[in-house]
Every structure is written in C-alpha cells, then in structure tokens.
Amino acid sequence: MRIDELNETQCREILSRASSARLGCSLNDQPYVIPVGIAYEEDYIYVFSTMGQKIKWMRSNPKVCVQIDEIKSQSDWVSVIANGEYQELPEPQFEHERARARTLLQKRHHWWLNAMAERRIRLRDEEIKPLFFRIRVSSVTGLRGTEAE
C-alpha cells in the first residue's frame, strides 16, 4: 500500500467532479458533521439547504471543513479536505450567485431532494425555508492510496 500527496490542481479536479461531501462545522467546542450535496466552481463549494442546526452553527462560526472521497477499494482511493468559510446567499443581493448555484447543482438529478425530504419529517412544506450557501475554499489537501508496486 502506498500513499501519495495530491497537489492543489489534483485536489480541485476531484472537488469539481464531487456531488456529495461531509460538511464539518463547530460551535462551542462541539463538532458537527453532516452529508450534503455539493457543486464546486472557482474556489466556491455551493450547497442547497434548509434552515436547521448546521445553518445556525455556521452563522455563528463560519469556519468550516469539507471532506470528499472516491473509494474504489482499501488500496485504491482519493480523499480531499477543503477548509473554508461559510457564506450565505440571500435574495436579492446574491441573485447571480444563487442562479449559478442552481445551475451547477441541478446537473445532479433530484439535487434538492435530500435537503427537502429530511425537513419534511418534521415540518409542513410551507414552513420549510430553503436557502443557498457557499463555502469559499481557502486551502485544500489531498491523499491518494494505491497498491504498492
């Protein structure tokens, strides 16, 4: 088994083709990690969401971490970690960015479904508050695991 570091270009290529990720945020020394759908473009990771714990926490502490991986087997995988800052995209001032987020996210079929379906367990549709946010990526690191030759 061999593990190599990925350079920044390789990390960003992997981010570009990712459609889901683990998003980590924290508040008062308590980490919180959740799966989300993502789309990455030019230093930003875009996410469609609804109001809840992660949004409240990221509003209080915008420093976040995103992890993605492509695991084919125990000895054939890549993992990328991006650190960055939460930025909400409210209307009307972020109209252009919201449209871009929607365009990028909708390349994935039913991109809105997981965010909405989870919320529908507890709320009626008219009570759900959808929103877009993005993460400005400040640093990336990556590792690739391969079978040793």
Ligand X SMILES: Cc1cc2nc3c(=O)[nH]c(=O)nc-3n(C[C@H](O)[C@H](O)[C@H](O)COP(=O)(O)OP(=O)(O)OC[C@H]3O[C@@H](n4cnc5c(N)ncnc54)[C@H](O)[C@@H]3O)c2cc1C
Q: Is the peptide bond before 62 cis (omega within 30 degrees of 0)?
A: no
Site for ligand X in 75-114 (CB under 6 A): 114
Q: Residue length, the chain?
A: 149
Shortest Cβ distance from residue 48 to ligand X (Å)? 5
- Rounded CA-CA distance 17/15 in Å is 6
- Cβ burial of 121 (10 Å; 0-12, 13-18, 19+) is exposed
Number of amino acids touching ligand X (CB under 6 A): 15
**111-130 mask for ligand X (x: CB under 6 A)?**
---xx--x------------
Shortest Cβ distance from residue 7 to ligand X (Å)? 28
Can you tell me which of 40, 44, 46, 48 binds ligand X, judged by CB under 6 A? 48
Report how far apart, in Å, the C-alpha atoms of 139 and of each of 55, 57, 112, 122 are: 22, 21, 27, 36
Residue 6 or 115 having the CB closest to ligand X = 115
49 binds ligand X (CB under 6 A): yes
Residue 10 or 114 having the CB closest to ligand X = 114
Site for ligand X in 6-45 (CB under 6 A): 20, 34-37
- Rounded CA-CA distance 21/126 in Å is 28
Tell me the pairing of strands 63-73 and 76-88: antiparallel
Q: By the 8 A CB rule, do 46 and 39 touch? A: yes
52 binds ligand X (CB under 6 A): yes
Where do contacts with ligand X occur on this chain (CB under 6 A)? 20, 34-37, 47-50, 52-54, 114-115, 118
